Amino acid sequence: MKEDKIIHIHCSSYGEYLMSEALTINLKKEFFDYKFLLSFISPSGYENANKNLFDCVIYLPFETNKNLKNFYNTIAPKITIFIKNEIWPNYISHAKLNGSKVYSIGGNFRYNFLKKIINFNSAIKKLDAIFVSNEKSQKLIKNIGNKNVFICGDLRFDSIIPSLNNEENKIISEFINNKKCIVFGSTWEEDEKLIIKYINKSEKDYKYIIAPHEIAKNCNRIKQKIEKKSILFSELKLNQNKNDFSCLIIDNIGMLSSLYSFCAIAYVGGGMGEKGLHNTLEPAYFSKPIVIGKNYDKFDEAKDMIKNEGMISISNYNELDNSLERILNNNDEINRMSKNNSDYFNKHKGAVKLILKQISK
């Protein structure tokens, strides 16, 4: 591999990979004579990434000096890219020693996070350029000592959301059957307590899709607690009568982002507890009204969309019930919130274009 010209892109997991996919596609056009290596530390990324985009997909080797020497002696990348908040000081040092340009792309950095990383100051200073999502991150990085830092915005606004395959699309369309549908995405138990109560109490002829963040055990647990007729996606057959079911529970990884296209309104999980709000830009991509939990202070896009009146934050069951009913019973409100989120999303595109201007052969 050492005779090849290689670009090494590292993501921690599938979420970071999705952020980087549009960037990778555009880099491949610019660096058409290069080979592309993708690495992960999480199975969610390794198992679900589009491997056709890359010449090689690996798990990042364990961080020992021996492994690092062997790794860089083998691949000798010309360009190394760490996506989002991935700062690996030893990898950065060895990449630089082997002549690679090294970039950090899409970071939203906070000092409390960085100070947990041993030798983070020296690692930040070695980076050839840093592309961050906001002004706070830029100021922090400049104070550490790297002045070559650019605000590119959030890579997720340039994300490519894959469509469902024909069979999946047919199954979901037949399940919804032109009724109003709520997608509850990336839910945790704190979200599900409210969601399940809402579904059980509702007398409306809605369709419900729940995609829990953690699939193992959670899907069956949710199914047992829902009083309306429910089914797991893996149990649903193409030729099965789907009108009998009110609730569909997604027991796979990879479908959720596309499912938002089918809903009248989206609830994005993580905000009712302390796990962290999940990706609200996916339903915004499809111009959907959004409801989230109460904990969203660390998420600029959530604060922006609430201010723009495309998103509502709820703190308890009554607020969830009132918000969903108010929106779903008023098509004008659905359209208004949808337009607000669409305008916000389209306004913030362009990170990939800005990054490509700065990265050169």
Q: Encode the chain (361 residues) as per-residue pLDDT tens digits.
A: 567 899 999 999 988 999 999 999 999 999 999 999 999 999 989 998 999 999 999 999 999 999 999 999 999 999 999 999 999 999 999 999 999 999 999 999 988 888 888 888 999 999 999 999 999 999 999 999 999 999 999 999 998 888 899 999 999 999 999 999 999 999 999 999 999 999 999 999 999 999 999 888 789 999 999 999 999 999 987 778 888 899 999 999 889 999 999 999 999 999 999 989 999 999 999 999 999 999 999 898 999 999 999 999 999 999 999 999 999 999 999 999 999 999 999 999 999 999 999 987 5
In the 8-state DSSP scheme, what is residue 117?
A: S
Q: Which residues contact 247 (CB under 8 A, 6 or more apart)?
A: 199, 207, 208, 209, 210, 223, 226, 228, 229, 230, 231
State the span(s) of the chain assigned CATH 3.40.50.2000: 166-347
Distance CA 216, CA 175 (A): 23
* pLDDT value of position 361: 56
pLDDT confidence of residue 1: 57
> From the CB of residue 158, how many other CB atoms can be counted at a distance below 10 Å?
23
Q: From CA 270, how far away is CA 186, in angstroms rounded?
A: 7
- Name residues whose C-beta falls within 8 Å of residue 308's C-beta, 6 or more positions apart in sequence: 340, 341, 343, 344
Nearest partner of 328 among 263, 264, 279, 284, judged by Cα:
264
CA distance 84 to 48: 18
Instruction: Give the Å distances, CA to CA, from 85 to 79, 137, 306.
Output: 18, 11, 25
Cα–Cα distance for residue pair 269/70, rounded to 1 Å = 42
Residue 15: per-residue pLDDT: 87
* CATH class of the structural domain 6-160: alpha beta
Out of 3.30.450.40, 3.40.50.2000, 2.40.50.100, 2.30.40.10, select the CATH number for domain 166-347: 3.40.50.2000
Residue with tokens 């309104």: 265
For residue 302, how many other CB atoms are within 10 A of its CB? Answer: 22
* Portions of the chain given CATH number 3.40.50.11720: 6-160
Determine the pLDDT at residue 218.
87
Question: Could you count the other beta carbons within 10 Å of the beta carbon of residue 297?
Answer: 10
pTM of the model: 0.86
Element (DSSP H or E) covering residue 173: helix 166-176
